[in-house]
Amino acid sequence: MITLSYYKGRIISEGGEIPYGKKEKGVEKYVAPAFRYREIVEYLNNSMIAFEDNVFGGLKLTEVKMKLSLRDYQDKAVDLWNRAGKRGIVILPTGAGKTVLALKAIEDLGEAALIVVPTLVLVEQWKQRLEEEYDIRVGVIGGGGREVRAITVATYDSASLKSDVMGNLFKLIVFDEVHHLTGQSYRQISLKYIAPYRLGLTATLQKESSSRVILRDLVGDVVHEMEVDELAGVHLAEYKVKTVHIPLSLEEKKEYDFCYARYRSYLNGQRIQIRSAADYQRFVLRTGRDPKARTALLSRNRAMDIAQNSSNKVEYLKQLLRDNPEDKTLIFTRHNKLVYRISKELLIPAITHQTSKKEREVMLDGFKSGAFRRIVTSRVLDEGVDVPDASMAVILSGSGSSRQYIQRLGRILRKSKNKQARLFELVSKDTSEVYTSRRRKRS
């Protein structure tokens, strides 16, 4: 008879061969990655091979029942996930209720579940939501939390670090913002956890991308996908996006043109074309051995700094806020330098990665209560802030990532009575920011 057990992210088989198993030297044991647990058990059952399963070592979940009812598209998403063998990814816009899908999946499955999230803010939000809906205590791993319970929330970092000891404790893993799982270090979570049932949640995942290929094996196929415009006006707020092209000051324009021309001159002289992230990475690697390449890179960075942090953008923002004093507004930038500048000049609370957990909670609570009507941030709030009545967002600078753009838009799309959400995107005219703006709006 075959005996299956778990050890540090691996399935150990004694007494017989298993799929994906490699024989250990000198002993009658076969070792397979933990994430193949489901396929191994299915193979043994289908082949009518007798085996003893000692793999699962987690807690049993008592019956849970959520209080909310699902919307039609949420119900469809859960149904499609169930039909896919309780494995797969659901893509819904921010504000469309992805959390509710996970709650329903946990309720239906009735098995121990781990929810993995990218930020401590989301750890707290998930914990609070789960405890409110199910009326149970929820475990937390990360940010000082060390309690494992039948339903546990963990950051990606903590779930990865604890994968050797926690890998056999859960039958279901919910990957919130599942695109993080494609990172090399975080893949350990999917590889070292046995979880036969897996649900990935995200607001966007590029079609025909390498990320989808990677996630297909680790989590499952995309089982349901909807875009913002399909839900706007019904389940999400109506919204408008306005891109404003703002000229640089004369001094800024002169320096920008000089720096960018020096960068382009080097590329042209070396016949280098930057068409992808890989092309750009190869150019960056050249700077380690070519002083002229380093000079070109520094010139490009200075040009981008000028475009992203222009004085005219700040002046436009000031007027925009004066014209809309009642709107609860989130202001996004790419770098902390501009965050602190705006915070100081306009006396607006600032949140960056340097902000302590306590300060961040005070600011977000104040924003939700209306004590603060504006918050300025870099990338910290791209994921993980739930502000139902925020009605305006301003992007002063950002990356070319469509995911980041959709996440920032999603921060203002949660529906409330008579709400008209507005997103202002400020782009420096006649600079490379114009291209960046176009790129991030592509799906």
DSSP states along 153-200 = EEEHHHHHHTHHHHTTS-SEEEEETGGGGGSTTTHHHHHH---SEEEE
CATH 3.40.50.1820 fits 2-53, yes or no: no
- 428 backbone dihedrals φ, ψ, rounded to 5°: -70, 120
Query: 10 Å Cβ neighbour count for 321?
Result: 19
Taking CA atoms, 263 is separated from 165, 246, 276, 283, 299, in Å, by: 50, 23, 17, 11, 6
The band of 208, judged by pLDDT with boundaries at 50, 70 and 90, is low
Would you state the structure tokens that stand for residue 277, as one six-digit string? Answer: 């992230």
Percent of the chain surpassing pLDDT 90: 62
**pLDDT score for 382:** 67
**pLDDT score for 13:** 94
For the domain 72-226, what is the CATH superfamily, name and number?
P-loop containing nucleotide triphosphate hydrolases (3.40.50.300)
Residue 385 has pLDDT above 70, yes or no: no
Q: Which of 41, 32, 44 is nearest to 8 (CA)?
A: 32
What CATH architecture applies to the domain 238-247+310-440?
Answer: 3-Layer(aba) Sandwich (3.40)
Helix residue ranges per DSSP H, 310-354: 311-323, 336-346
User: For residue 62, which amino acid is it?
Assistant: T
The C-alpha atoms of residue 214 and residue 209 are separated, in whole angstroms, by: 9
The C-alpha atoms of residue 238 and residue 191 are separated, in whole angstroms, by: 41
Would you call 32 helix, strand, or coil by DSSP?
Answer: strand
Domain spans of the chain? 2-53, 72-226, 238-247+310-440, 250-308
The C-alpha atoms of residue 203 and residue 406 are separated, in whole angstroms, by: 7
The C-alpha atoms of residue 344 and residue 363 are separated, in whole angstroms, by: 15
Please tell me the pTM assigned to this model: 0.83
**pLDDT score for 419:** 79
* pLDDT tens profile 256-311: 999 999 999 999 999 999 888 788 899 999 999 999 999 999 999 999 999 999 99
Whether 238-247+310-440 and 72-226 are alike in CATH topology: the answer is: yes
The band of 383, judged by pLDDT with boundaries at 50, 70 and 90, is low
Would you state the structure tokens that stand for residue 412, as one six-digit string? Answer: 């203002």
DSSP class per residue in 36-65: GHHHHHHHHHHTT--EEE-----PPPPP--
**pLDDT score for 27:** 67
The band of 398, judged by pLDDT with boundaries at 50, 70 and 90, is confident
Question: What is the average per-residue pLDDT within 411-428?
Answer: 84
